[in-house]
Amino acid sequence: MAFGLAGATIAQEAPPAPAPNPEESQPAPPESPAPAPVDAPPAASAATDAPAATEVPAVPAMTPDQYIGNPEYMLNIDLSTGGRVVIQLYPNVAPNHVDRLKQLARAGFYDGVKFHRVIDGFMAQTGDPTATGQGGSQLPDLKAEFNVTPHLRGTLSMARAESEDSANSQFFIMLQPRFALDRRYTAFGRVVSGMQYVDAIQKGEPPAVMSRMVQVSVAADNKPVPPASALVEAVPAPTAAPTVDELNAPINP
């Protein structure tokens, strides 16, 4: 299904007030009337007793020893700013978002994608192949997995449009803490090495020269870091110097 992210963005410097909690905004369900008392039926024989219904246990969340340092849950982002950023993913709090990023990384979707919105002292946003903030993948949008993970420096979180369930492929990395985003955006990982390369990402909305993700891979796939010659920023074309004729041109009153 074609995906058009309408104004995908994260909160601005002065983020709007969070949307009301759905549980608080919904009316409480009416209480069911108490059933009328009935005479207890005679005890059934053992041969006719129906087996008691068993409750299916919930699947437990992954424990830290299952994913911390596990290369299957580590993401490598090789940046044009000069090196590799390693991110620890958190499948225990946002399994669907983790799976989405791993799926797109393994498909090569993020390779070459630029950082189109970078606010100094706030965050660096990427994941849109059109570099406009309006694009995404062909996969369906994700249902929000808001959690208690704080938006600290280095936190990886998913960008979205106004709808809470509109995250698709765009994500951002925090440059500084911003706790106003907690429980409003799905945080699902954190940089564990290479933060200096994130700090060096070109700033702007959009930047005049956009830094890019040269290669994004799951650590378990053991992809080597691209050569240093590939981890460089694009250089804008130099402005042409004025010609002698232009320098000698008369100044109009």
The string of pLDDT tens digits covering residues 83-128 is 999 999 999 999 999 999 999 999 999 999 999 999 999 999 999 9
Q: What is the CA radius of gyration of the chain?
A: 26
Cβ-contact 197, 184 below 8 angstroms: no
**Is 0.75 topped by the overall pTM?**
no
| Average per-residue pLDDT for the chain | 81
Beta strands in the chain (DSSP E): 74-79, 84-89, 117-119, 123-126, 155-158, 171-174, 187-193, 213-218
Q: Which alpha helices (DSSP H) does 6-88 contain, by range?
A: 22-25, 64-67
Cβ-contact 186, 47 below 8 angstroms: no
The string of pLDDT tens digits covering residues 154-175 is 999 999 999 999 999 999 999 9
* Per-residue pLDDT band at 25 (split at 50, 70, 90): very low
Query: Which residues partner with 158 through β-bridges?
Result: 171
